[in-house]
Every structure is written in structure tokens, then in C-alpha cells.
Structure 1
Amino acid sequence: MDRILTDSALPQSSRQPQTHWYLRLFATLAQWQRNARTRRQLAQLDDRALADVGISPSERAQELDTPFWR
């Protein structure tokens, strides 16, 4: 006879923690803000600074064309 495990039968450590929707929303908005800020900073770098970081001008242009939510 097969036994089907339910969530209550699983050990406490193997359960997925449930986060509240507002915490996930806050984390998403914070990530979008970081994306926008770092892309603004990237746009201000000159060619010498880009070379120091190891980013080509075409890679910078590609990153700057990406929307902040990605």
C-alpha cells in the first residue's frame, strides 16, 4: 500500500516558508530601485572607468537599454 505524504507529515525543515505578499512586493520594489540606481551609475562612467571594470561600451549600451524591472 502506498502512503501519500501531506504537508503535516513532512518534517518542519523541509516545508517551504510562506512569505507574506507585502514582503515579496517590498523585495521586488527594492530590487527595481537597485537596478535603476546601478544603471544610472553605469551611464555616468567614462571609457577609462569602463575599461577598469572590464565592460565594453556595447555591453554598457545593452545594459542601459534593459528596463529596470529585468
Structure 2
Amino acid sequence: MSMMINTQANRRPANGRTASFFTRLMQANALMRQRHALRMLDQAALDDMGLSRAQADAEARRPIWDAPNAWLK
């Protein structure tokens, strides 16, 4: 089970400017929700994604400021 939340917050601004504070806040919220959802997955769903429970837990424990590189552009 894969979960990608497609919100305005996880898209790069069309004009190339850096994201506003509100956009960054929305991105952090989306990341927090996605990591929580990852933590809640059962073993069958993790197996479907090719992840172990230890990998999923390690990702879920990462701090909120440790965001994917694609969000930092």
C-alpha cells in the first residue's frame, strides 16, 4: 500500500521562487502524516513495498526537518 498525498504543498512553485512559510508548513504536515501512515502499515503492506519493519520504523522516526531532497528545492 503506497500513500502519496497530492496537495498544493508538495509541488514546486511554477515561478521558480522558493516556497513560502505556509507552503513549507503544509509540506512538513504532509510529511508527518505520511510517516505516521508508514508506521501504521501491516507487514503484508510493507512486504508489497519491499520494506522491512525496521526500515519503516527508521523512516517514521526521522525528525520533521529531515525532509526529502525534492522538497528542499
Which TM-score tier does this pair reach, normalised by the shorter chain? 0.5 to 0.7
More helix by share: 1
1:51 aligned to 2:47? yes
TM-score by length of 1: 0.62
Q: Greater relative contact order: 1 or 2 (C-alpha under 8 angstroms, separation 6 or more)?
A: 2
Q: Tell me the number of residue pairs that the alignment of Structure 1 and Structure 2 aligns.
A: 52
Gaps of 5+ in 1: 1-15
Q: Which has the larger radius of gyration?
A: 1
Partner residue of 2:27 out of 31, 41, 45 = 31
Aligned-residue identity in percent: 33
Gaps of 5+ in 2: 1-14, 67-73
Off by >3 Å, runs of 4+ in structure 1: 16-19
